A and B are shown apart, each in its own frame.
Chain A
Amino acid sequence: MIGIDDEIVAHMSNPNNYGRIEDADSIGIGENPQNGEKVIIYINVQKQEESLIISEIAFEAIACMTTVVAGSIITQEAAGLTFEKAGELIAVTLGMLEQVDPEQAACSEMVAVALKAAIDGYILSQEEGEKKTLIYKIEQSCNPETAFNSQEEK
């Protein structure tokens, strides 16, 4: 279980960026294939010189409260970042998963891969000229004994 302090209570009672962006530039989904839990990330993107910037971000979670907290924290950090910096944020988040308990790891991974799916989906959409919603499945498991690796695109 996550340790709870005032900051975590604030994320639980009023998560940052919770909701959806109508007609978002890109939507990415992170999914736990074991229990069907999902995180949906919506981003709007601005082009500034050579960089692509996440100008607006929102998320929805069909998942537990720990995922909502992870979504609140990670989307808050991702707002305003360039795709390059957001990629670093995703890498750092995924790199830290072994240091936290399995449930928390699965929740954080679900948010991180949803953000990655939104970014990758935006890039793919620009290349192919039509919007693509990517779904990335997580590798961590709330229950480590049944963990497996899987990733898919739609």
Chain B
Amino acid sequence: MKNLLIKTHEVWLETLMASFMSSSVESRQVLNDFSDILFRHFGWIEEKLVEQKVEYDYNREPIPIKVDSLVVIVNNIIERLGTMELMLPFVEDEALRFRLQTDWDYIKYKLATLEDEVVTAFSGKRTYKDLQLSSEATDALTLFLFEESYKEYELIMIYNYLKAHSSDDYLNKIFQILVDESFFHLKSFGEMMAQMGILGVPRVVHSSLYQVEDVAEFLKDGIDEEIAAKEQCKELSDAVVKEAEELAKFFDFINYQENYHIALMENALKHFKSKGSV
């Protein structure tokens, strides 16, 4: 089961990255929906590991995604799912085993029908749409996208882990909202990176970041980080506002969304302090 968790993590991320690199609206949607399903599988498998008190972490192998055509990565996803089928006999829960098998069967079938397309997500051109940015603004945007796409992935993994190890319904509701919010940000940044030809898989998150010993301290630090992220968005928005109004508005939007995240984390902190545990 531990190995299945790792392989599900890898295939989820690979499918998500494939969705970013597709320029066909239909294929992008299919891949994105499947990546959501695979992430839910990841959660179910993790739930079983927690129930069985098995120690695990979110370590995984590097995921090569640099392809010239979509069919290459799609075939690789199909192949991965085929290999994962060999692990199904080790899933004791019959209902879970059936869900995984039937979902994978359909995912493989549907993926095999996707139209091939040329992938430009690794061209390195570093231009976004037809916007003319100065080299300084382009560098700032590039660094921001790499930093923040990792950060959003990190937050997904942290809140997912906290949720898996918490039995508090109120906190879990907040953790789930924060996971969903980070998914939206990761999708926005990932698609932008693909359009700029600089797509990359976020690096592995170190276990000390999600195997949190002091949840209150973690939430306090998280609020400070969100405040810093707001400032970064504002700086970026200011840097590009003259050259690219669309981008400036997008970073203002992200900035204002952080207010909601801060409010959620403050609520979680207040609730946690009143209960004293997760």
Q: Given A62-B209, A68-B203, check contact A9 B150 (CB 8 Å).
A: no
Q: Given A6-B124, A60-B206, A68-B203, check contact A12 B146 (CB 8 Å).
A: yes
| A65→B147 contact, CB < 8 A | yes
| B146→A13 contact, CB < 8 A | yes
**CB of A2 within 8 A of chain B?**
yes
Residues of chain A contacted by B138 (CB below 8 angstroms): 4
| B139→A13 contact, CB < 8 A | no
| B204→A60 contact, CB < 8 A | yes
| A1→B206 contact, CB < 8 A | no
**CB of B140 within 8 A of chain A?**
yes
Please report which residues of chain B, range 44-72, place their CB below 8 angstroms from some CB of chain A when the two chains form the complex: 59, 62, 66
Residues of chain A contacted by B124 (CB below 8 angstroms): 6, 9
**CB of A14 within 8 A of chain B?**
yes
| Count class of interface residues, chain A | 20 to 34
**CB of A3 within 8 A of chain B?**
yes
A60 to B204, CA, bound (A): 8
A6 to B139, CA, bound (A): 11
- Contact partner of A3 (CB less than 8 A), chosen from B139, B200, B201, B206, is B139
**CB of A20 within 8 A of chain B?**
yes
| Closest partner residue, chain A, to B197 (CB atom) | A9
Q: Given A18-B62, A19-B204, A62-B209, check contact A13 B199 (CB 8 Å).
A: yes
| B203→A15 contact, CB < 8 A | yes
Interface centre among A12, A13, A19 (most CB of B within 10 A): A13
Please report which residues of chain A, range 36-86, place their CB below 8 angstroms from some CB of chain B when the two chains form the complex: 40, 60-62, 64-65, 68
- Contact partner of A1 (CB less than 8 A), chosen from B59, B126, B140, B208, is B140
| B142→A18 contact, CB < 8 A | no
A3 to B147, CA, bound (A): 15
Give the shortest distance, in Å, between A29 (CB) and chain B (any CB).
11
| A19→B139 contact, CB < 8 A | no
Residues of chain B contacted by A68 (CB below 8 angstroms): 203
| Closest partner residue, chain A, to B64 (CB atom) | A14
| A4→B204 contact, CB < 8 A | no
| A65→B150 contact, CB < 8 A | yes
Contact with B along A22-35 (1 / 0, CB 8 A): 00000000000000
| B204→A65 contact, CB < 8 A | no
Q: Given A1-B140, A6-B124, A62-B208, check contact A14 B146 (CB 8 Å).
A: no
| B143→A1 contact, CB < 8 A | yes
A60 to B60, CA, bound (A): 13
Residues of chain A contacted by B62 (CB below 8 angstroms): 14, 18-19
| Closest partner residue, chain A, to B148 (CB atom) | A65
**CB of B13 within 8 A of chain A?**
no
**CB of B198 within 8 A of chain A?**
yes
Residues of chain A contacted by B147 (CB below 8 angstroms): 64-65
Give the shortest distance, in Å, between A71 (CB) and chain B (any CB).
10
Residues of chain B contacted by A14 (CB below 8 angstroms): 62, 66, 200-201
Interface residues of B (CB under 8 A from A): 59, 62, 66, 122, 124, 126, 138-140, 142-143, 146-147, 150, 198-201, 203-204, 206, 208-209
Q: Could you jot down 22 A-B contacts, CB within 8 Å?
A: A1-B139, A4-B138, A4-B139, A4-B142, A4-B143, A6-B124, A9-B126, A9-B198, A12-B142, A12-B146, A12-B198, A13-B200, A14-B66, A18-B204, A19-B62, A20-B59, A60-B206, A61-B203, A62-B209, A65-B146, A65-B150, A68-B203
Q: A12-B143, A13-B199, A18-B204 are in contact. List 6 more A-B contacts (CB 8 A).
A: A1-B143, A13-B201, A14-B66, A14-B200, A62-B206, A64-B147
